[in-house]
Amino acid sequence: MAKAVKPLLIIECGVAQTRAALIKDDRVTRFWFGPARGDEQNDQTPRRGRRFTGRVRSINTSLNAAFVDIGDGLDAFLPLNKKPEAALSDGALISVSVKSPPRQGKGAVLKFLSVIEDAEETPAKKTPGRAPPFTDAAVEAVNAIGGPATKILIDSGKAYAVLVTADLETGITGADIHYTKEAVALFDVHDASDALAGAFEQSVPLNGGGRLVIDEAQALTAIDVDSGALGASSPARLREKIATAAADEALRQIGLRNIGGHVVIDFPSIGAKAARTRFRAHLTKVLARLDGAGGASFSQTGLFSFTAPHGAQSLMERFTEEAPADPVPGRCFTLDWQAKSALREAEHRLRAGPQVKLRLGVGAALYAYLNDSKIWIERLKEIYGPRIDLTADEKLEARAYDLSE
């Protein structure tokens, strides 16, 4: 019997982004993305539990709710169920926390905390936006997805020093936290880069053959199971084998992609009662690994549905936007994603090759975005010196980049 591999959390602290991956049984199961260390105050992402200063834009009496500006460009939704929030009026400045993050173009759902009474005396509080405290990005990564981990690897000495003395919300102690100086990026060493690329794909292969087809829509996420070339000793055994493999991978992908809300999976039909019993027992076991999942049931037509916790935007929602391009038809990566990807690739190559000099050629839109975020380039040059040159390349598409020596 193979020895179980203890869960591992890896954290990369880049000049433009902090990212982490939770690895269990040698497979990536969760991702976390946050600001670069030092940029925490600028991160306005409405994550569940974060506090914001909000301005009431309007009261809707028929919904018994208020629409609130929290600084992210969307009208957040605040139910007015109790006093004193029931007495709020248009223009009121309030303190709120995020119950549920934005989804499918709709704003976050909020929890009322208090009215900000002294706003006139403290002008800084007049502006909607995230409220302190601002947790160190590495600490937030551990607290967000590091609960199951028994060991942490981190690639920043300064972040390591913070983690070993931080009051973490997990059972991890300083002895379980390790600073690594490897030239190769942690995401590459532990196959997290490949897992991340696959998490944006619509089609996911199953072990032994077959595939999942995953469609994130506004109302729900639909997952179809395609048998492909998966083989078994009999048609009945084949359907059970496909369904079992699909259950394992579907639940892993839901966690990887941060998919929340209503999920419907079309498993192959299993005729034999004993086989159905085995499969449903396995499905129940697998579903239990997804914290907060509920409402599971099979329809009369055999569709399996359940609700997954919506604690953060899905990767597709957060890092892509509507466009007739990659990574799937109708979506393309955001400028922010492309900018951070370009800088991360440059940083990894500069670290791996101490004598390497790089040219980062970027399209027009990406060049303008990076110029608006000069602090990232400045950090890169502070660490690695003048070994990288950022240039606008008219030959490249607006969001494309090319890294060359």
Write the pLDDT tens digit of every residue in 301-312.
Answer: 889 999 998 878
Q: Are 202-308 and 334-404 equal in CATH topology?
A: no
Residue 3, pLDDT > 80, answer no
Token digits of residue 347: 């940083």
Percent of residues in the chain assigned helix, strand, coil, to nearest 5 = 30, 30, 40
Q: Percent of the chain having pLDDT more than 70?
A: 93
48 or 161: whose pLDDT is higher?
161
**Contact assessment for residue 13 and residue 138, using Cβ atoms and an 8 Å cutoff:** yes
Any idea which fold 8-39+134-195 has? Nucleotidyltransferase; domain 5 (3.30.420)
Judge: domain 51-130, CATH 2.40.50.140: yes
Going by pLDDT thresholds of 50, 70 and 90, the confidence category of residue 129 is very high
Residue 118, pLDDT > 70, answer no
CATH T-level assignment (fold) for domain 334-404:
Hypothetical Protein Ychn; Chain: A, (3.40.1260)
pLDDT at residue number 233 = 59
What radius of gyration, in Å, describes the C-alpha atoms of the chain? 23
What three-state secondary structure class fits 242?
A: helix
pLDDT, position 2: 47
- Cβ neighbors of 72 (< 8 A, separation 6 or more) are 44, 45, 46, 102, 107, 108
Tens digits of residue pLDDT in 184-228: 999 999 999 999 999 999 999 988 778 999 999 888 999 999 876
Looking at residue 122, its pLDDT comes to 53
Return left, alpha or beta for 209; rule: phi > 0 is left, psi -120 to 50 is alpha, else beta.
left
**268: three-class secondary structure by DSSP:** coil
Give the pLDDT score at 173. 85
Mean pLDDT of 93-112: 90
Residue 328 has pLDDT above 70, yes or no: no
What pLDDT, on a 0 to 100 scale, did the predictor assign at position 4?
59
Torsional class of 91: left (φ above 0), alpha (ψ -120 to 50), beta (otherwise): left
pLDDT number for residue 67? 95
Q: What is the pLDDT of residue 85?
A: 67
Residues 6 or more apart whose Cβ sits within 8 Å of residue 290: 251, 254, 255, 308, 309
Residue 244 has pLDDT above 50, yes or no: yes
Indicate whether 382 pLDDT > 60: yes
Q: pLDDT-derived band of residue 105, with 50, 70 and 90 as boundaries?
A: confident
Q: What value does the mean pLDDT of the chain take?
A: 90
Across the range 246-260, mean pLDDT stands at 95
Whether residue 130 is predicted with pLDDT greater than 50 in this model: the reply is yes
pLDDT bucket at 264, cuts 50 / 70 / 90: very high
Q: At 378, is the secondary structure helix, strand, or coil?
A: helix
Range of 1-15, 109-123, 359-373 with top mean pLDDT? 359-373
Q: Where are the beta strands (DSSP E) in 89-132?
A: 93-100, 109-115, 129-130
Q: Does residue 102 have a pLDDT over 70? A: yes
Q: How confident is the model at residue 148 (pLDDT cuts 50, 70, 90)?
A: very high
Q: How far apart are CA 302 and CA 268, in angstroms?
A: 9
- Quote the percentage of the chain above a pLDDT of 90: 69
Q: What is the mean pLDDT of residues 105-130?
A: 78
**What is the pairing mode between strands 331-333 and 358-362?**
unpaired
Q: Provide the residue ranges of all domains of the chain, joining segments of one domain with +.
A: 8-39+134-195, 51-130, 202-308, 334-404
What does the pLDDT average to over 91-110?
90
**Looking at residue 338, what is its pLDDT?**
97
Q: Is the pLDDT of residue 33 over 90?
A: yes
pLDDT value of residue 128: 92
Least confident of 13-17, 146-150, 215-219: 215-219
* CATH architecture of the domain formed by 202-308: 2-Layer Sandwich (3.30)
Residue indicated by tokens 């405290």: 133
pLDDT of 241 above 90: no
Q: How high is the pLDDT of residue 88?
A: 86
pLDDT on residue 1: 41
Task: Assign 42 to helix, strand or coil.
Answer: helix
Read off the pLDDT band of 322 (50, 70, 90).
confident
